Amino acid sequence: MFAPLKIWRKWHGRANITQRRHAVASALAASACAPLVMARGHRVEAVPELPLVIDALTGENTKALLTTLNQFGCGDDLAKVRRSRQIRSGQGKYRNSRYVMRKGPLIIYGDKSAQVRQSARNLPGVDVCHVSRLNVLQLAPGGHLGRFCVFTEDAFRALNDTFGTNKAECIAKRGYHLNRQVMNCADISRIINSDQVQSKLREQRTSVRVHDKTKKNPLRNKAMMLKLNPFAKKRAELVAKREADRTKARAAALKAKRSKAGTKAKQTRTQRAQALAAGLEQSFKDADAILAEEIRQGAYQPGDSEEEEDE
């Protein structure tokens, strides 16, 4: 293989052990928050409570364990995991990881219920982990908090010894103390809007713009035109009134023209114009006849005029 990965490559980043323990404790606490569990994609609508603690998982085989999980509302999540199995996209399917599948519930067991590890290893999507070896990779796969966890009774009782409480130190992790909550009231809106906080705040500042950012065109902006020419509004009203009167007068003229009186007047004008045209034609014909008669008698020669005779 050309340019293989080197063995000295830094695959992991170092973190303090106390920080890792805080991360595990936070991820474990998030698994008890129903909105976070549902937001991660788990089907926990039929689960009676979170965290789910079952005291009947000791000494069961795989079939009995599956029946118990279905009785406590885990069947929807297990079915979702089975339906999600598909072939991996890309070249990874050739590298011993051909199929991908969603994460299902995480069963956390203790020393008294170690048989659960063997019973649950053949269930698709179900992971098992000892209560003393919890890690972030299982509690928050992909960096997303809210893994659906199922505890056995002895594992749930061993949490106080593993992580301790706010009043007592833990036994398993020497010198470790759980983080205390910084705020007793997590309702930030209620705190901000309280009278005690609002009385100490200054009034809200508002910025007043002295002038406009851009120059406005008064030919398009009516407000700017009114500033420059107060008569612009009255002028616009006069123009609009004139247009309205012109439209109204035109409509009235068309109505009068199309009425009976208008039609009769038009006929009269037409007859008068036709009579004038006929009279002109007759006058020209008479004049042409007179000229033709003079030419025939020889009294008139075309082109002669009185001016030529005078010369």
Domain ranges in the chain are 17-88+96-178, 218-258, 264-304
When the candidates are 3.30.70.141, 3.40.1370.10, 2.60.120.560, 3.20.20.70, the CATH number that belongs to 17-88+96-178 is 3.40.1370.10
Which residues lie below 8 Å from residue 87, measured CB to CB, with a gap of 6+? Answer: 93, 98, 99, 100
- Segment 68-85, tens digit of pLDDT: 999 999 999 999 999 999
> Would you state the pLDDT for residue 311?
55
> Would you state the pLDDT for residue 172?
85
Report the distance separating Cα 103 and Cα 127, nearest Å: 8
Is the distance from CB of 113 to CB of 62 less than 8 angstroms?
no
> Would you state the pLDDT for residue 13?
85
- CA-CA-CA-CA torsion for 238, 240, 242, 246, nearest 10 degrees? 180
> Would you state the pLDDT for residue 57?
80
- Segment 14-32, tens digit of pLDDT: 899 999 999 999 999 999 9
- The ranges of the chain with pLDDT < 70 are 59, 299-311
Q: Is the pTM of this model over 0.75?
A: no
> Would you state the pLDDT for residue 301?
62
> CA geometry: angle at 155 spanning 122 and 49, to 5°?
85
Edge-first strand listing for the sheet containing 106-109: 52-54, 149-152, 106-109, 127-130
> Would you state the pLDDT for residue 290?
87
